[in-house]
Amino acid sequence: MVYGVNDMAYVVPPRDARTQSAGVVAGYAQTASRWPAQPAARRPHGISELTGPRAFSRLKTTSADLAGQGARRALGQLIDVRVSIVDEDGAPVSGALVEIWHCNAAGKYLHPNDANDAPADPNFYGAARLAADERGRIELRTIKPAAYPVPDTDGWWRPPHIHFSVWGRVWLSRLVTQMFFPGEPLNEHDHILNAVPDPAARAGCIARFVPQAGSALVYEHQLVVRGRNASPGLP
């Protein structure tokens, strides 16, 4: 794929299909509605696709603290998530807009379509929008999400995970993926994570635990937004 910026063009190496998710996961009906049913249609890229939209400035960032509303803290294990956004050369992508969402410590999303009978947490909102700093980094204080049963399936459970949507400098630059936690036994059985054929690419979806003193557990994670080593796109 060729991108043009300020009358300059460069070629982005194609992604290896084995490092990317199969998209539609057998036995999980909702994935079919989240993944294109037809191959992407190629069309000429104009200024609308290849410019850095000023509209992003109207998407206001939020607090980087999801662990509580006001003086009251959400239930669950307090964690700090430190994410770096880089390109295929390891260069930081400063200014990337990162949207984050996950369920609470009981496995409940703050969404009207979540039919899980787990309790909601009035002190947990569950979503944030952050801008990467000059080093391409964001940091989130939140609580560790729980595992939960997948609706309309034979009873398999999703492991704890956090969703990320990363917007780059142009409209076409977007990565939607998930971060998993190390040492979770459900990781080996998760249909979403294991829809990525390549073991190294799957391992790249799992955060790294960083032992540190303090009240919160610290996890570090890297998101590669393009090229052959790009993080898998997960629905």
Catalytic residues: 109, 148, 158, 161, 163
Considering only CA atoms, which of 4, 13, 17 is closest in space to residue 233?
Answer: 17
Q: Are 120 and 110 in contact (CB under 8 A)?
A: yes
- The residue behind tokens 């043009």 is 4
Encoded amino acid at 102, one letter: H
Residue 131 phi, psi (nearest 5): -110, 130
